[in-house]
Amino acid sequence: MFEPNEVLQVLTGRGHVSAEGVEAVRVRYRVVVERREGIVVASGTLTGSHASLMPIWLIPDSTLRLKNGRRIDISITDLVGDIAEFESTGLFSPT
């Protein structure tokens, strides 16, 4: 039986995104945590400097550090101007 996506929480704030070999970038984030087909995933947007986000966009694996210190493994999927879209790449626990 198909179950629709269930939004578990939405996280917003200021944090940092980093990738190996690239300096960390300060960003504002909006993370939507949802259950899709029985697994918990995160996706959302990052707002920061286009020039600073570009090198991270070119690297497939990066890490978003939230304001509470929590880390989410992500991949930036699109970058338009100063706004990047991302999806989580690892297991995600909403707590």
Q: Domain-by-domain residue ranges, the chain? A: 6-88
The pLDDT, as a whole number, for residue 4 is: 67
At 52-72, the pLDDT tens digits run 999 999 998 999 999 999 999
67 with 35: CB under 8 angstroms?
Answer: no
Q: Write down the pTM of the prediction.
A: 0.88
Does the structural domain 6-88 have CATH classification 2.40.10? yes
Distance between CA atoms of residues 90 and 92, nearest Å: 6
